[in-house]
Amino acid sequence: MNATTFDTLKTTRDLEAAGIERRHAEAIAEGMRDAAIADRDEFATKADLAGLEARIDARLEALEGRMYRALWIQGGAIVAILTALRFLPI
């Protein structure tokens, strides 16, 4: 992941130009920089998303297999019940 950059000098100058005292402008700029880079390790990368997509695809395939298996079992049970009902004396 690319490093997040934040130009504190430019921000400080912009804040000073807006009428904020230099020491306050520097403190605000530092706070903004800290906030901009605080949780960069928590951001998902393209590789993270690709891995997640692969795991989801694998789980969906497994679920699909279980669903088809259940469908065949239910179909077989229905055929067996209907066949049994046909030969039972009523």
| pLDDT at res. 13 | 93
| pLDDT at res. 6 | 80
Domain ranges of the chain: 1-43, 44-90
Give the dihedral sign, CA 11/17/22/27. negative
Supply the pTM of this predicted model.
0.49
**CA distance to 74, 81, 84, per residue, from 88 (Å):** 21, 10, 6
Low-confidence ranges of the chain (pLDDT < 70): 1-4, 39
Give which of 1, 2, 79, 9 is closest to 17, Cα–Cα.
9
Q: What pLDDT digit, counting tens, does each position of 62-84 carry?
A: 999 999 999 999 999 999 999 99
| pLDDT at res. 78 | 96
| Angle made by CA atoms 39, 43, 7, in degrees to the nearest 5 | 55
| pLDDT at res. 4 | 60
Amino acid at 25: A
